[in-house]
Amino acid sequence: MSDPVVLISEEEIQTRVGELAEQISQDYADAGEIVLVGVLKGSFIFLADLARRLAIPRTIEFIAVSSYGTGSRSSGAVRLVMDVRGNIENKHVLIVEDIVDTGHTLKYLMGLMESHRPASVRACALVRKAERAEVDVEVKYLGFDIGEQWVVGYGLDYAEQNRTLPYIGVVSPDD
């Protein structure tokens, strides 16, 4: 696999995360508190940065799903590995994703969260591959729209590699 080529720099990411945090803080100013639900594994860095820059009370939950295996193609099938641990009934839930690709995962997660009877559910994603969308799902807070390249870094992996890069880079998988 080739070395990653910078697509979105560390500075661009940090600026955008700050903007998203400001927008979210304004939108939920009257909500009292929000629950950030990070989707493992890819969201862990984005969630950590976003959560620390919010100006409103927040709690953190994690959820784990699996859809890709170790390859580069989505099967469309979403498997729940771990649900939220805390009670989110009547709470304002913000799902935090690193990437929305086909949209199947986020669509599934929105439905799953709704089944917990929260006060509201919205989604925040750092990047989205709009051209690959297979289902219609709203990303209320979006960092960047990108093309169809395979991207790594800032939580995103290819075969578990490169998650901790501070930037988002493009790789060319061999398979």
Report the amino acid identity of residue 171.
V
Q: Does 126 bind ligand PRP (CB under 6 A)?
A: no
> Which residues touch 92 (CB under 8 Å, ≥6 apart)?
28, 31, 32, 33, 34, 35, 118, 119, 120
- Across-strand partners of 19? none
Of the candidate spans 6-14, 17-25, 51-59, 62-70, the one that interacts with ligand PRP by CB under 6 A turns out to be 62-70
Residue 86: how many other CB atoms lie within 10 Å: 12
Known active-site residue 3 = no
Of the candidate spans 9-17, 27-35, 52-60, 103-111, the one that interacts with ligand PRP by CB under 6 A turns out to be 103-111
Residue 140: how many other CB atoms lie within 10 Å: 14
Residue number with CB closer to ligand PRP (102 or 141): 102
Q: Does 101 bind ligand PRP (CB under 6 A)?
A: yes
Minimum distance of ligand PRP from residue 37's CB (angstroms): 12
Q: Which of 58, 91, 92, 104 binds ligand PRP (CB under 6 A)?
A: 104
Q: Does 99 bind ligand PRP (CB under 6 A)?
A: yes
Please tell me the distance from the alpha carbon of residue 47 to that of residue 172, in angstroms, as a whole number. Answer: 26
Q: Write down the catalytic residue from 101, 145, 157, 174.
A: 101
Q: Mask 74-93, x = binds ligand PRP (CB under 6 A)?
A: x-------------------
* Locus of tokens 């979210």: 24
Residue number with CB closer to ligand PRP (40 or 170): 40
> Which residues touch 100 (CB under 8 Å, ≥6 apart)?
106, 123, 125, 127, 128, 129, 133, 137, 139
The site for ligand PRP (CB under 6 A) is made up of 39-42, 66-68, 74, 97-106, 157
